[in-house]
């Protein structure tokens, strides 16, 4: 008898994107993301505004995801949702919705760790031609996290390096703010860097032992450097500034990544998270991989920044392992690194 299909509805609402996806086995049938422009003038995500916008978006986004996937809601086997880490008010909207949906449909709940989702996005059917082989190292770089993860199996991974202060995405966004860009400025730094000279300006890099990162010194170094300049300097040098800042951040990221790959003696290396959408991060991974004989894995753009597809695939592995939650489950702004 053919095996029954597994259909999962996934919800992601950990920060400022409301996303819903439908997964059938390993294939994504729909993956919708409603962004929030309300934060752009504030230089960062305003938690209260984010949770309000999630409340407005969640119903239409889920409705559209189900319609676009062409499935009947009665065919959904389980609801996966982001339990944490993230903004509590934002997470609560997704968790409450998932719990109500599961109760109404009498189906299981799967509480997914957002950071596992970023890593497991590599296992979505259309994420890439080939899948990483275990064990591999995944550099997860986002607005809230910078983690070097040793992945032994789908649900067995450990953080071997992390940031002691700002995340890489935060470094991009804070530098972008100093250059006059709106939030989130990371993608704009990437855009302007394309025409700039990455060697034009030099910024300080941290001297840290081990595999941990630090980005707060870089932020201060950029700030002091800009404060010393005359009016009009940023405008005249915008492309070179973006290229030089981007190169510094990517140098810092790869210095430790190369060290980790050597230390753990792996051959497969992946990147994940919002900053893995950055063109220099992507090309540096390919370049380094060619030089050091790594097999490299870069997610599709839509699976880099926050999305429910990654929560769905993580949910599927948990569902198969019988890891479901009950109605007492709650959101966690901070949580242990385990599924």
> Interface with ligand KG4 includes 274 (CB under 6 A)?
yes
Instruction: Kindly state whether residue 306 participates in binding Zn ion, applying the rule CB under 5 A.
Output: yes
Question: What's CA 257's distance to the chain center, in Å?
Answer: 17
306 binds ligand KG4 (CB under 6 A): yes
Residue 146 binding ligand KG4, by CB under 6 A: no
Q: How far is the CB of 245 from ligand KG4 (least distance, A)?
A: 10
- Site size toward ligand KG4, by CB under 6 A: 19
Q: How far is the CB of 314 from ligand KG4 (least distance, A)?
A: 14
277 binding ligand KG4? (CB under 6 A): yes
Report what 305 binds from Zn ion, ligand KG4, none; CB cut-off 5-8 Å by kind: ligand KG4
Regarding 111 and contact with ligand KG4 (CB under 6 A), the answer is no
Residue 190 interacts with ligand KG4 (CB under 6 A): yes or no: yes
Residue 113: CB minimum distance to Zn ion, A: 11
Which stretch in 87-95, 140-148, 167-175, 329-337 sits in contact with Zn ion by CB under 5 A? 140-148
Does 84 engage in binding with ligand KG4 (CB under 6 A)?
no
Contact track, ligand KG4, 149-178, x by CB under 6 A: --------------------x--xx-----
State yes or no: residue 275 binds ligand KG4 (CB under 6 A): yes
Q: Which residues bind ligand KG4 (CB under 6 A)?
A: 15, 142-144, 169, 172-173, 184, 186-187, 189-190, 273-275, 277-278, 305-306
Q: Which residues bind Zn ion (CB under 5 A)?
A: 142, 306
């Amino acid at each position: 008898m053919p095996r029954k299909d597994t259909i999962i509805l996934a919800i992601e609402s950990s920060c400022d994107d409301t996303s819903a996806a439908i997964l059938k086995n390993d294939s994504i049938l729909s993956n919708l993301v409603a962004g929030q422009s309300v934060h752009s003038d504030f230089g960062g995500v305003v938690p209260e505004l984010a949770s309000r916008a999630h409340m407005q978006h969640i119903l239409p986004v889920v409705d559209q995801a189900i319609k676009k996937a062409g499935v009947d809601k009665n065919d959904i086997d389980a609801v996966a949702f982001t339990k944490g880490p993230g903004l509590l008010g934002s997470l609560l909207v997704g968790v409450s919705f998932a719990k109500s949906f599961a109760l109404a449909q009498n189906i299981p709940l799967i509480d997914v760790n957002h950071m596992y989702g970023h890593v497991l996005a590599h296992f979505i059917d259309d994420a890439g031609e080939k899948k990483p082989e275990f064990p591999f190292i995944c550099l997860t770089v986002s607005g809230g996290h910078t983690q070097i993860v040793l992945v032994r199996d789908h649900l067995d991974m450990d953080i071997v390096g992390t940031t002691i202060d700002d995340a890489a995405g935060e470094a991009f966004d804070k530098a972008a703010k100093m250059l006059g860009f709106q939030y989130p400025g990371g993608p704009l730094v990437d855009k302007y860097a394309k025409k700039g000279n990455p060697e034009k300006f030099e910024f300080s890099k941290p001297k840290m032992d081990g595999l941990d990162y630090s980005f707060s010194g870089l932020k201060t170094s950029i700030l002091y450097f800009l404060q010393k300049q005359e009016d009009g300097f940023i405008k005249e040098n915008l492309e070179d500034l973006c290229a030089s800042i981007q190169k510094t951040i990517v140098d810092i990221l790869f210095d430790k990544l190369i060290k980790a790959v050597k230390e753990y003696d792996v051959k497969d290396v992946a990147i994940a998270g919002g900053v893995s959408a950055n063109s220099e991060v992507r090309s540096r991974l390919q370049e380094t991989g060619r030089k050091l004989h790594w097999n490299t894995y870069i997610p599709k753009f839509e699976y880099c920044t926050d999305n429910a597809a990654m929560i769905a695939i993580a949910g599927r592995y948990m569902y198969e392992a019988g890891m479901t939650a009950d109605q007492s489950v709650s959101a966690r702004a901070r949580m242990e690194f385990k599924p």
